[in-house]
Structure 1
Amino acid sequence: MADAAHSLNLRVAAGRALRRDCPRRTHALWRPSPQRDPIAMLQRSSEDRVQHLVPIRYGRMLQSPFAFYRATALLHAFDLADTPHSGIRTQLCGDCHLMNFGGFATPERNLLFGINDFDETLPGFWEWDLKRLTTSFVLAARYRSLSDAKAREIVQRLVASYRHHIDQYAAMKTLDLWHASISFDDVRRALPAGAMRDYVGTLAERARKRTSRHAFDKMTATRDGVRRILDNPPYIFHPDASPDFARYQVNYRDVAFEMFGAYTRTLHQYRRHLIERFELVDVVFKVVGVGSVGTRCFVLLMLADDDDPLFLQAKEAKPSVLAPYMGRSQFRHQGERVVAGQRLMQAASDQFLGWTTGPEGRHYYIRQLRDMKVAVEVELMDAEMLAHYAELCAWNLARAHAKGGGTGPEIAGYVGDRPNLDLALADYAVLYADQTERDYDTFVKAVRAGTLPADTGDDRALAQTP
């Protein structure tokens, strides 16, 4: 035991020593590269998407700088590449903004809080996740018309929470850390009585209703004796009826069967026994998120009986936006990269999580569409609720970093127990939020000039132009 304690102390000391080459105050620094061109990067990121859906992506980004930021992880990764870092690596979320946290179910039907989007996951420098998260809270605070002084306070509470919890997780035994989780009950106990605790209770109630059974009644209908998912174009539609997919000259229901067969082989055997009790009966294309709009995402309706449904989501997995700066993934299949990163960082993952390959050799990962997943509504949060939520996100990020990379002691040693990093990242987050707002203004001008086509969600039909 003494040797283990000695080893832990040495690792913490090694992390602390890294401050000499990268002082914590330097994390406040950032300067835009003269080569950065946000419009060109947006255009490149849209080239391989379903083209008639790209205007929806841009329309959703027009809503606010906060919405714009959600869709520009690629741009932020480019900018982070020129920022100081300690050199300590762990598994990263890769797109760590506040809307990528929320509730989800374990296979045992317990409701946990944590990161729930891993499209960009990759090993890398822990600071990158923290800088993206802190900036998202400054933009959320501005979206709620809060002052920058209040936004800075929220960020400082966030980073203090990360420091406190990474220190706790760094001292844990390996199995204790691997099994650590944050339930909604844990969250409520950690919150003082008030609006945020009440809101968490409301979210928990809502999450327990977000199941395949509940979605079945809302999303499907029986036609000619067959259960089908209802179309709601341009957001949900059967791909065989879309001109953008007609050029493939394939039956997407047949393709889904092929994808599904390959997917089941990525599951553990006992999971295959479960999934094979369901029959695939329908497949539709679904527009999801903000940054993901235009990437290929299919919803599969599975039935074990007429009233015994399971919805799966097959989402396209592209190389992580971090790859140009952190190195290529060890996984050749991008869906496997997403699945592996999610399993590393989450306390418990979807029992149906797997991967497959679709038309044109595109990579996908598969998970449940609805499994008690729930996210916060920033529009309902005041300053104190935002601050509490920031602390919760930081708590979970610390757990995910400590578990995902095994470098918790080094990170804990580097961040220390004083607020040096809190103040530096508050400066950085405000600075980068300012840049995001400038980029947003540039984006709005490009839309107005017709350089980027945007559909703002009017009731008119979206032009079907492949």
Structure 2
Amino acid sequence: MRIDNEWLSVAMTASETQADQRTERTAYGKSYRREVPLESHAAVPAPAERADPVDLLEQQATERVPSLVPIRYGRMLVSPFTFYRGAALIMATDLGAVRRTELTAQLCGDAHVSNFGLFASTERRLVFDLNDFDETLPGPFEWDVKRLAASVELAGRDNGVSDKRRAEIVRACVKNYRETMRAFAKDSTLNVWYARLDVDEILASGDGLKTKRARRTATEQANKARGRDRTQALRKFTTEQDGEVRIVHDPPLVVPISELPEVADPQAVLEQINSQLKSYLATLTPERRQVLGQFHAIDAAHKVVGVGSVGTRAWIVLMEGAARDDAFLLQVKQAQSSVLETVLGPATQDEHGERVVLGQRLMQVAGDPFLGWKRMPAILGNETSVDYYLRQLRDWKGSLPIDEMTPTGLGIYAKACAWTLARAHARTGDRFAIAGYLGKSEAFDHAITDFATAYADLNDSDYHALEEAVSSGRVRAQTGV
């Protein structure tokens, strides 16, 4: 067999260059510990130096639908953990006040444990991945790790896990992030890109599921996620009226455009939506444009979503194809500026919907095939236009019941979240430098564990501050919604 010596020489040079870059970047990461010692990550802002948490929440409220803000506060007051879910701006402000690295990756920006879940890949495989990217932005990798670790601590507190066991769970979570990043730093770029947590493979192997209860729970949640598809969404959110399929009226959570006092002509709004959807198609790949181009909007409704997102403009649009039973629901969700921008500066994208979509495509291993973005005329409020991102409402999407997890279950789940976050950061950041910085020792693990405990205490204080604000009448909360 003839070997092309010129090609071999080029290939060897490229391989040596790659090896040199890996060594060089790893050494740079290791040396960066002199700039930001690993132990420094335990620090949290002094209470007296922090911004008023209720002030920050009220600043966000000015950009939201006023009638829905009390629902947001009511949901945040369910527990300190649900407060934390809505307090991304507060934490971003706090992280901006402590020492940080310049080892950047694409950040989720809100990587708490409830923002991980189950999703369908394009091959119709169920995978475990990150969920929410409203706050995504490039930034210091450790900010996502801190957001995750503190959420594990708070979830453990909510579940009555002992102090000692919580610390063990958080430390194991951070250790798994560190060791996963180090493993990815030794792997090829394409292997990192293709890496995923395939739920069926985990269930078949039993990897990490040490008890029958854990395997049974994981199987039940996988089956439940598969059941949360477009057909189930149509059953839940639509009904037949005068021989036509329409979105249900379930105020204040779901309000069709025909029931909104701000909408004088629902049919005109539908025509506007269909016109806007045509240009949204340009953000999809050609084959997906071909599929979605066969549908048109026949109804729309405003829908309250999440905890932190309550009050933003979020819509569901009933899309119909060639026949009445050929339908699905499209979610159209407002994209505001990332809370991280208050510290790290503005995003480079012109539209926040584009920022969210591009961040999600970078970090997620299996994104929604209809994920795209569009700036559209406002329907509610006085804005001239609103940035949105669009996706299917449900397509094998599921979440695990964190409030029901045993200490063992929370530990398994937290490690899965850590692996997934490390994979996302390895895809989008300098995995060699980050791995070199983290190193072999457990110094980073212990520092972040200490941070999580201290920050959970700050979060508890902020939670009580919101309680007091409601009691005094400073803000209004609507509970049970």
Per the shorter chain, which TM-score range? Answer: over 0.9
What SS does structure 2 have at the residue aligned with 1:155?
helix
Asked if structure 2 preserves the Cα contact closer than 8 Å seen for 1:19 and 1:86, the reply is no
**Equivalent runs, 1:19-418 vs 2, <5 Å:** 19-32=33-46, 34-188=49-203, 189=205, 190-194=207-211, 195-243=213-261, 245-246=262-263, 251-304=268-321, 305-358=323-376, 359=378, 360-405=384-429, 407-418=430-441
Verify the 8 A CA contact 2:274 2:296 in the aligned structure 1.
no
Describe the superposition over 1:45-86 as per-residue Cα deviations: whole angstroms up to 9, x where unpaired. 011211111111111011000000000100100000022222
Mean Cα displacement is larger for which, 2-11 or 78-87? 2-11
| Distance in 2 separating the partners of 1:219 and 1:324 | 36
Q: Which residue of 1 aligns with 2:466?
A: 443
- For the residues of structure 2 that align with 1:259 and 1:382, how far apart are their CA atoms? 47
Cα distance in 2, alignment partners of residues 158 and 35 from structure 1: 27
Amino acid at match of 1:82: A
1:142-165 residue CA offsets vs partner (Å, 9 max, x unmatched): 101112222111110001100111
Give the Å deviation of 1:246.
Answer: 4.3
Shift of 1:172: 1.9
Q: Residues 66 and 311 of structure 2 are in contact (CA less than 8 Å); yes or no, is this contact kept in structure 1?
A: yes
Residue 3 (structure 2) aligns with: none
Give the Å deviation of 1:420. 0.6
Report the counterpart of residue 12 of structure 1 in structure 2. Answer: 26
Q: How many residues align?
A: 456
Identity %: 41
Any idea what the Cα deviations from partners look like across 1:324-377, whole Å, max 9, x if unmatched?
222211101100000000000011211101011222211000011001111111
Shift of 1:262: 2.2
Taking structure 2 as the reference length, the TM-score comes to: 0.92
Measured after TM superposition, the shift of residue 168 of structure 1 is 1.4
**Number of the residue aligned with 1:461:** none
Tell me if structure 1 keeps the 8 A contact 2:233–2:393: no
Return the index of the structure with the highest Cα Rg. Answer: 2
Question: CA separation in 2, counterparts of 1:260 and 1:351?
Answer: 15
Tell which deviates more after alignment, 114-123 or 144-153: 144-153
State the alpha-carbon separation in 2 of the partners of residues 309 and 234 from structure 1.
24
Q: Distance between the aligned counterparts of 2:303 and 2:225, measured in 1?
A: 21
Question: Residue 129 of structure 1: CA displacement?
Answer: 0.2
CA distance in 1, matches of 2:136, 2:420: 16
The alignment yields a C-alpha RMSD, in angstroms, of: 1.6
Is there any run of 5+ residues in structure 1 with no aligned partner, and where? 459-466
DSSP-derived class of the 2:458 partner: helix
**Secondary structure at the residue paired with 1:138?**
helix
User: Structure 1 35/130 Cα, relative in aligned 2: closer, same or farther at 3 Å?
Assistant: closer
Provide structure 2 residue ranges, at least 5 long, that are not aligned to the other structure.
1-14, 379-383
Distance 1:384 1:330 in 2: 42
What CA distance in whole angstroms lies between the structure 2 residues aligned with 1:249 and 1:226?
Answer: 15
Q: Residues 257 and 266 of structure 2 are in contact (CA less than 8 Å); yes or no, is this contact kept in structure 1?
A: no
Paired letter, 2:38 = R
Q: Distance in 2 between matches of 1:187 and 1:132?
A: 26
TM-score (norm 1): 0.95
Which letter maps to 1:167?
R
For residues 196 and 248 of structure 1, the distance between their equivalents in structure 2, rounded to whole angstroms, comes to: 52
Distance 1:251 1:150 in 2: 58
Provide Cα deviations, 1:24-62, integer angstroms capped at 9, x if missing partner. Answer: 111011123625111111111011211111111111011
Amino acid at match of 1:36: A
